[in-house]
Amino acid sequence: MARPPDVLAGTLAGLLSMDALSDLMRVLRFSGGVFLDAKFRAPWCMDSQVTPEESAGVATPGAILIGFHYVLDGHLQVRLGGGVSQTCAPGDFILLCRNDLHRVGSDVALPPLPPESVMHKPGEHELIRIDYGNGDGVVSHIVCGFLASPARTHPLLESLPPLLVANMGGRPCGEWVQSSFRYAAHAYAERQPGVQDILGRLSELLFVEAVKDQIDRLAPEATGWLAALRDPALARALTALHARVAHDWTTDQLAQEALLSRSTFAERFARTLGVPPMTYLTRWRMLCAAQRLRESPASIARVAADVGYESESTFSRAFAREMGVPPGRFRQAALGEA
């Protein structure tokens, strides 16, 4: 039996969105890991933020850090700054997209515990552990980690809220994510090799699932990069642009990919993404070039050609405008950090 057109359109939009999201994830080049396995018995409260020490060995100096908590058991509250607290349950993935200092606890109105007073100092290659509270209050079991990216600017990260809570319980990956975190905590205790790599990949998967959840929950009038992914026409154009970054794109050609008139496409693109199509193309090319400069020994002229510039000098000027430094200096800084 044929599916109705609206179902087909929704399925196609989802596939296109994942293509464009995958493109951005490739440029982000996430690495990640888990550093804390904690059990708290109510009442408790603590301030939290990923530090350079906790991400050392995985994140390069100056990398963007995204902190997260995954709730295995129990309930807790999380609050960012003076905002409203959110109550989280098992299966909730709590994402701090700017790695801001935040408060977690059975009640975030309580005075926060000094972290160093409850943390068990880990041995080499071991998780930091917390087992706090002697009462018979609700036990909250969480694992805490981070994602790191060498990218200094990125439309996906800029479009996410500072605090994002996504429940994985109802998603296809929910059950095995839960079991994977439990296995990893046990494997750390047994000092089994390779666990951090598994957790790094798991963290990336959870991030993608949280982004998809955020797209599903966007208000109809929302704008930004995530809203563009939800729009089938804009998703088609973004997927084509990302797939052929060196192509000499015009607004007319991208409108054809979107199956819209030029004027409708240009207006919708600028309204949703905040910049005209050609400005977005330039910014995307510079993100791809930055990735190449960090990871490849190719000459600057070769990198320029790979992202659609025939002239190295024109590319260098465009790169300096977008990234703040010329490509040669950017590469030197990236190599120094590595």
Euclidean distance between CA atoms 260 and 273, whole angstroms:
16
Numbered ranges of CATH 1.10.10.60 in the chain: 231-337
Q: Say if residues 206 and 147 touch (Cβ distance below 8 Å).
A: no
Residue 336 pLDDT: 72
Residue 9 pLDDT: 40
Tell me whether strands 92-96 and 64-73 are parallel, antiparallel or unpaired: antiparallel
Beta-carbon count within 10 A of 139 CB: 16
Q: Say if residues 65 and 99 touch (Cβ distance below 8 Å).
A: yes
Euclidean distance between CA atoms 148 and 18, whole angstroms:
21
Q: pLDDT per residue over 66-108, tens digit each? A: 999 999 999 999 999 989 999 999 999 999 999 999 999 999 9
Residue 125 pLDDT: 58
Q: pLDDT per residue over 150-167, tens digit each? A: 876 777 888 899 999 999
- Measured at the CA of 152, the angle between CA 149 and CA 153, to 5 degrees, comes to 110
- What is the end-to-end Cα distance of the chain in Å, rounded? 55
Numbered ranges of CATH 2.60.120.280 in the chain: 29-216
Q: Which residue has the higher pLDDT, 35 or 196?
A: 35
SS3 169: coil
Q: Is the pLDDT of residue 12 over 80?
A: no
Q: Say if residues 164 and 80 touch (Cβ distance below 8 Å).
A: no
DSSP label at 137? S
Lowest mean pLDDT among 51-55, 121-125, 228-232: 121-125
Instruction: Tell me the pLDDT band of 124, cut-offs 50, 70 and 90.
Output: low
Range with top average pLDDT, 179-183, 208-212, 264-268: 264-268
Buried b / exposed e over 43-69, threshold 16 CB at 10 Å, is ebbbebebeeebbeebbeeebbbbbbb
Q: Which residues does residue 234 pair with via DSSP β-bridges, in sequence order?
A: none
Q: Identify the H or E element spanning 12.
A: helix 5-28
DSSP label at 221? T
Task: Give the global pTM.
Answer: 0.80
Q: Say if residues 154 and 97 touch (Cβ distance below 8 Å).
A: no
Place of tokens 């598994």: 198
CATH 1.10.287.130 fits 231-337, yes or no: no
Instruction: Tell me the pLDDT band of 256, cut-offs 50, 70 and 90.
Output: very high
- Measured at the CA of 115, the angle between CA 114 and CA 120, to 5 degrees, comes to 130
Euclidean distance between CA atoms 318 and 312, whole angstroms:
10
Q: Which residues does residue 83 pair with via DSSP β-bridges, in sequence order?
A: none
CATH 2.60.120.280 fits 29-216, yes or no: yes
CA diameter of the chain: 69
